[in-house]
Amino acid sequence: MAVSMDDDVPLILTLDDSGSSTSAPLDAMDREELPNENGGSYDVIHDASSPAAGDCCAQQSSARHNWEMNYQEAAIYLQEGENNDKFFTHPKNAKALAAYLFAHNHLFYLMELSTALLLLLLSLCEAPAVPMLRLGIFVHATLELFALIVVVFELSMKMRWLGFQTFIRHKRTMVKTCVLFVQFIEAIVVLVRQTSHVRITRALRCIFLVDCRYCGAVRRNLRQIFQSLPPFIDILLLLLFFMVIFAILGELYLWKVNVFFQYFNTLENSLVNLFVLLTTSNFPDVMMPSYARNPWSCVFFIVYLSIELYFIMNLLLAVVFDTFNDIEKRKFKSLLLHKRTAIQHAYRLLITKQRPSGISFKHFEGLLRFYKPRMCARERYLTFKALNQSNTPLVSLKDFYNFYEVVGLKWKAKRNREHWFDDLPRTAFLIFKGINILVKSRAFQYTMYTVVAVNGVWILVETFMLQGGNFFSRNVPWSYIVFLTIYGVELLLKTTGLGPVEYLSSGWNLFDFSVTLFAFLGLMALAFNMEPFYFIVVLRPLQLLRLFKLKKRYRNVLDTMFELFPRMASLGLTLLIFYYCFAIVGMEFFAGVVYPNCCNTSTVADAYRWVNHTVGNKTVVEEGYYYLNNFDNILNSFGKGSFVCSKDYSLEGVTSQTTHWSRLYFMIFYIVTMVVMTIIVAFILDAFVFRMNYTRKNQDSEEDNGIVLEKEISKEEVIGIIELYKRISAATETAQLQKIVLQMDKYGQMSAVFLGRRSRTKSDLSMKMYEEEIQVWWAVDEVCSRLTSSCAQGLL
């Protein structure tokens, strides 16, 4: 890295000469072998100022330098393939490479993230601020300017890496630049005027968060949302169309019959009420007055709700679900092809002129040094062996295609002993063996289930009997201690019987462990009367979740739940980002609009009432509470976001205090929430249906513990690699490998077996589900690439 950071050295980009590569003699010296593409993009020509040395030596050092460059570029290609970064953002020269490396590490990412968060959190302190966090205008404007300058720095690094042309073409970055520009000007204006103006543009601050490296999942979600939009909007139009028809019907016919005096007196009211009816939040209320006068008017509502709520809303879901399904598959396909292309790019950089049929371990090792710097020498070799399906010492392109599947494996020496206590003396062994058998027996398991069930019933009865007594008495209830003791003993038995490593390798055991631990902490809290930790005690009922292990469907459901969790979190974050935008806009428009007793002239006066009057000698507070749903600061505005549309009181309350156009805000908010929610539902549906289909298809292989590969390496191989490492004088690697040789010598083995293991990802499942289709994709891709290359060679 340090090499190419030196900007004084002139850098020239040379084109590759792969066309002539096959003509090179195959029996050339291994040490002097040249990369197939001369140093890829970052070829360095040493000028006269480079340290004078023997010609041969200079050439050799240059070759090694070239190789290092190639390794690095190949690693970058592979990373791009993994992260689904497009190749047109691939750094094109050494200067770009330096910027790329600077901008692609966790420190930089963290800086990005913290800047974005700082900008978002500033809304807490800017007027109208959360009272506790109010900051002076000078302070928060300076903070903002500082954060924006950091963003400018980030963007300049990006421009350096991408080059001006690509930078301009990269849409997301351009949007970010524009937003940055606007924010900059506004921040300066605030600083100069020393007063905040209406800044709806603050809602755009989200883009800084979305652009963060760590928010890739959010970007993916947003892309998916935008892709689902066209069909969604089509159906939404249908929905609105029926709404308009019913609004006209409601206004013309039903109002004429003088029934809906307040709800349907104008077309606008009619529309708004039908819209709110879609959320069912005003349901019987909107219907009761008309129903009181003419029972048949309920037909209007029933037909409306059947068409809109039960038919078209489901249609929305169906369309989104279908689009989602389709997009998921296409995304999977494009990702797969992208990875394949990345592998091809990397492969071309790693083969030599002398041996164009595959990658030797030396070069593979060089690649991994850049791709996964933390990997130890043993794992590198095992990965190489796992990839290499043929008996030759080279990894062919076909083998190399499995790179991503294999590189994630965690390698461990296969234990010869079955249990952790096999090496212990006879007596201890027998005891532990007994415990092991006991712990693994069905009887033990079902006893524990019974205990959990009894515990559950106990808690229920206890809670029921309590009826308002003080649960948190200073005396710890004896049942608590008894059950905790049983769980503790179980934990102890399992840990000793299975060994801590095996015990904690199962997610369910981990769950048991943490719940028991929490229960113990709760006991401590009770015993030492530490009030703030009381909440731990109430987590006890979670122990009951263990019962769901009993049935396969629940295991499936809970497993899927855990698998879905990261994706759900990212979807939640996406929703929060939308909420943030709406919160800012709401705050700018409606801050200070709603307060206790604000709406006494409107129809929702009750909901906002706050009266403090005296009956007899007691002070009675009549509260409508809805005044709490205000937009007075970002937290309230945000909180409001999460439930604003479930009640039309807020809508009416705010509308009665402002203009009718504020209804638009609530409607748009509801629709956006609906879009995201529908996509969340479609996502959950898709995930579960996929899972269920998968289990149905693979009923035979019931319990799978992820992907496992077994590889054997002999002593000679290890010694061979040590030689190799010695030649490039890599001391740590040599030491690591020598340890293995020592181990083998100790046990008198001629070879050692290693197990590579990783958990199954969604991609693996999809690979298995679409097995046949993938073959077709490959074939098509093959033909396409061949056609393109023939075109390029002027054969067509």
Please list every residue from 318 through 347 that binds a copy of itself, using CB under 8 A. Answer: 318-319, 321-322, 325
Among residues 318 and 783, whose Cβ is nearest to a copy of itself? 318
Dihedrals phi, psi of 750, to nearest 5 degrees: -95, -15
Is residue 685 a contact residue for a copy of itself (CB under 8 A)?
A: yes
Taking the complex as a whole, the smallest distance from the CB of residue 463 to a copy of itself amounts, in Å, to 5
Strand partners of residue 709: 756
How many residues lie near a copy of itself (CB under 8 A)? 89
Distance, CA of 630 to CA of 130 (rounded, Å): 12
Q: DSSP states of 668-734 as a string?
A: HHHHHHHHHHHHHHHHHHHHHHHHHHHHHHT-SS----SEEEEEEEEHHHHHHHHHHHHHTT-HHHH
Angle (nearest 5°) at CA 452 between 447 and 456: 145
Tokens of 418: 């079955």
Measured in whole angstroms, the distance separating CA 769 from the mean position of its chain's CA atoms is: 23
Cβ at position 592, least distance to a copy of itself in Å: 19
Could you tell me if 342 and 356 are in contact, meaning their C-beta atoms sit under 8 angstroms apart? no
Residue 367 near residue 346, CB atoms below 8 Å: yes
- Cβ 533 to a copy of itself, closest distance in Å? 12
Do the Cβ atoms of 635 and 645 come closer than 8 Å? no
Token digits of residue 222: 């947003």
Q: Of 335 and 635, which CB lies nearer to a copy of itself in the complex structure?
A: 635
Cβ 118 to a copy of itself, closest distance in Å? Answer: 23
The residues with which 600 forms a beta bridge, in sequence order, are none
Is 595 a residue that touches a copy of itself (CB under 8 A)? Answer: no
Scan residues 454-473 and list those touching a copy of itself (CB under 8 A). Answer: 459-460, 463-464, 466-468, 470-472
Residue 267: CB minimum distance to a copy of itself, A = 5
When binding is defined by CB under 8 A, the residue of 236, 424, 635, 730 that contacts a copy of itself is 635
Binding segment for a copy of itself (CB under 8 A), chosen from 57-65, 287-295, 366-374, 741-749, is 287-295
291 touching a copy of itself, by CB under 8 A: yes
680 near a copy of itself, rule: CB under 8 A:
yes
Q: Is residue 314 at the binding interface for a copy of itself, with CB under 8 A as the rule?
A: yes
**Does 667 sit near a copy of itself (CB under 8 A)?**
no
Residues in the chain, how many?
Answer: 796
Q: Tell which one of 30, 32, 234, 723 touches a copy of itself (CB under 8 A).
A: 234
DSSP, residue by residue, 456-492: HHHHHHHHHHHTTS-SS-SSPPHHHHHHHHHHHHHHH
7 vs 606 by CB, closer to a copy of itself = 606
Peptide bond into 532 cis (omega under 30): no
The answer to whether the beta carbons of residues 96 and 160 sit under 8 Å apart is yes
245 binds a copy of itself (CB under 8 A): yes
**Residue 124 C-beta: closest distance to a copy of itself, Å:** 14
Closest CB to a copy of itself among residues 139, 302: 302
Closest to a copy of itself by CB, 111 vs 671, is 671
How near is the Cβ of 560 to a copy of itself at its closest, in Å? Answer: 9
Quick one: 77 or 321, whose CB is closer to a copy of itself?
Answer: 321
Q: Is 401 in the site for a copy of itself (CB under 8 A)?
A: no
How far is residue 729's CA from residue 736's CA, in Å, rounded to a whole number? 13
- Minimum gap (Å) between residue 94 Cβ and a copy of itself: 48
- Report, in Å, the least distance between residue 310 CB and a copy of itself: 7
State yes or no: residue 241 binds a copy of itself (CB under 8 A): yes
Pick between residue 190 and residue 680 the one whose CB is nearest to a copy of itself. Answer: 680
Nearer to a copy of itself by Cβ, of 444 and 508: the residue is 508
The piece of 52-60, 167-175, 233-241, 436-444 that touches a copy of itself (CB under 8 A) is 233-241
- For the segment 554-573, give every residue that binds a copy of itself (CB under 8 A): 554, 557, 561, 568, 572
Nearest to 585 by CA among 475, 669, 461, 700: 669
527, 521 in Cβ contact below 8 A?
no
C-alpha–C-alpha distance, residues 666 and 661, integer Å: 9
639 binds a copy of itself per the rule CB under 8 A: yes
Q: How far is CA 483 from CA 310, 441, 454, 478, 513, in A?
A: 48, 21, 9, 9, 14
253 touches a copy of itself by CB under 8 A: yes
- Which listed range, 99-107, 492-500, 626-634, 775-783, lies at the site for a copy of itself (CB under 8 A)? 626-634
Residue 230 sits at the vertex; the CA angle it makes with 228 and 233, to the nearest 5 degrees, is 105
Letters for 503-542 (x = contact with a copy of itself by CB under 8 A, - = none) are -------------------------------xx-xx--xx
Query: What single DSSP character describes residue 307?
Result: I
Strand-pairing partners, residue 708, are 757
Q: Of residues 194, 529, 642, 743, which one binds a copy of itself by CB under 8 A?
A: 642
| Min separation Cβ 522 and a copy of itself, Å | 12
Closer residue to a copy of itself, CB minimum distance, 265 or 705: 265
For 729, left (φ over 0), alpha (ψ -120 to 50), or beta?
left
Residue 634 near residue 124 (C-beta atoms within 8 A): yes
Phi, psi of 654 (to 5 degrees): -65, -40
One of 87, 153, 181, 643 touching a copy of itself (CB under 8 A)? 643
Q: Contacts from 645-648 at CB under 8 Å and sequence distance 24+?
A: 645/279, 645/281, 645/669, 645/670, 645/673, 646/279, 646/281, 647/281, 648/276, 648/279, 648/281, 648/282, 648/604
Q: Which of residues 707-736 bind a copy of itself (CB under 8 A)?
A: none
CA-to-CA distance for 696 and 698, rounded, in angstroms? 6
Choose which of 551, 697, 726, 786 interacts with a copy of itself (CB under 8 A). Answer: 551
The residue range among 14-22, 238-246, 361-369, 665-673 that interacts with a copy of itself, by the rule CB under 8 A, is 238-246
Sorted by sequence, the CB contacts under 8 Å of residue 4 that are 6+ apart come out as 11, 42, 44, 69, 94, 97, 98
The span from the CA of 402 to the CA of 778, in Å, is 13
**How far lies 107's CA from each of 111, 113, 154, in Å?**
6, 10, 12
CB 600, min distance to a copy of itself, A: 15
Residues 266-285 that bind a copy of itself (CB under 8 A): 266-267, 280-281, 283-285
Q: Min. distance of Cβ 478 from a copy of itself in angstroms? A: 18
Q: Of the listed pieces 3-11, 349-357, 434-442, 550-558, which binds a copy of itself according to CB under 8 A? A: 550-558
Tell me the sheet residues that pair with 613.
Answer: 620
In the complex, least distance from residue 534 CB atom to a copy of itself, rounded to whole angstroms: 7
Q: State how beta strands 618-623 and 707-714 pair.
A: unpaired
Q: In 467-596, which residue ranges form alpha helices assigned H by DSSP?
A: 478-498, 500-505, 507-527, 534-537, 552-590
Q: Which is nearer to a copy of itself, 491 or 685 (CB)?
A: 685
Among 87, 226, 548, 562, the residue binding a copy of itself under the rule CB under 8 A is: 548
Site for a copy of itself in 599-618 (CB under 8 A): 606
Residue 304, token pair as written in the block? 């409306």
Q: How far is the CB of 291 from a copy of itself (least distance, A)?
A: 6
Measured between alpha carbons, how far is 574 from 117 in angstroms, rounded to an integer?
A: 14
- Cα(118)–Cα(97) distance, integer angstroms: 29
Nearer to a copy of itself, 335 or 576 (CB): 576
